[in-house]
Amino acid sequence: MISSAESHLFFPSVENALREPNGLLAVGGDLSPERLLEAYSKGIFPWFNADEPILWWSPNPRMVLFPEEIKISRSLRKTLKKEHYQIRTDDSFTQVMHACASPRKGQAGTWIHPKMIAAYTALHEMGLAHCVETWMDGELVGGLYGVALGKVFFGESMFSYVPDASKIALVHLAKQLQRREFGLIDCQVKTDHLTSLGAREIPRSEFSQQLDRLIADTKPGNKWSFDPVLIE
């Protein structure tokens, strides 16, 4: 049974999510920072088209990437070592979101519409939503964005204008999160692209246990700044 999310910051147990469509848990509510943070802390995220009510999801199984398990192919490693790119963080957050929202081959539309951009920009201004950007020759060519709570990064979307640009951003994110002792990167649902980079599915119950452990000590957010990383 799908529940309403209209009551103040209330979400039903993720165990009540539907099997089909996989993970649909609740309908309604709003995209206020308070509700979004409550949702993420419980492993719930919004995903809906612009002409739909807000839909909240918690799929089972859950796709995750443990930072230390990032898989770097031989060709990607060569690209990373060329150092023909620059990594920036939290420099052009809204621009990254707009790039992620651009139409893609095989997609009729986008779920990253103005309401979502406004909501995550608000989290960014609170220091809780972040982006990792790949720049080449002074141009933004790839990147990703998501929400950081405690020691978990909840990845939302990524884009590439040139080959491997989003992969470069993800590798640098994983390496930095290892340094900061983050436990996992939430990837939401399985894709071949994420699998090739080392992500894997775990049961939703295990994912919830990880969140309870890793988000127990949540500190106020700050703008991110990455240290130089040597890719071996």
Mean of the pLDDT values across residues 137-149?
A: 97
C-alpha distances out from residue 144 to 114, 125, 147, Å:
17, 17, 11
Domains of the chain with bracketed CATH: 3-61 (3.30.70.3550), 63-214 (3.40.630.70)
Summarize the confidence of residues 121-144 as an average pLDDT.
Answer: 97
Percent of the chain whose predicted confidence (pLDDT) is above 90? 84
pTM comes to: 0.93
Question: With 90 as the cut, is the pLDDT of residue 183 above it?
Answer: yes
Shortest CA distance to 199 belongs to which of 42, 46, 67?
67
Q: Which of 113-127, 191-205, 216-230 has the lowest mean pLDDT?
A: 216-230
| pLDDT value for 3 | 56
What digits encode the pLDDT tens for the residues 59-107? Answer: 999 999 999 999 999 999 999 998 799 999 999 999 999 999 987 665 5
Question: What average pLDDT does the segment 162-172 reach?
Answer: 97
Cβ within 8 Å of residue 126, ≥6 positions away: 33, 221
User: Average pLDDT, stretch 17-39?
Assistant: 96
* Preceding amide of 21 cis, omega within 30: yes
**Are 65 and 144 spatial neighbours (Cβ–Cβ below 8 Å)?**
no
**Once rounded to an integer, what is the mean pLDDT over residues 128-146?**
97
Percent of the chain with pLDDT over 70: 91
> For residue 15, how many other CB atoms are within 10 A of its CB?
11
Q: Which residues contact 66 (CB under 8 A, 6 or more apart)?
A: 183, 184, 185, 198
Among residues 134, 127, 26, the alpha carbon closest in space to that of 80 is found at 134
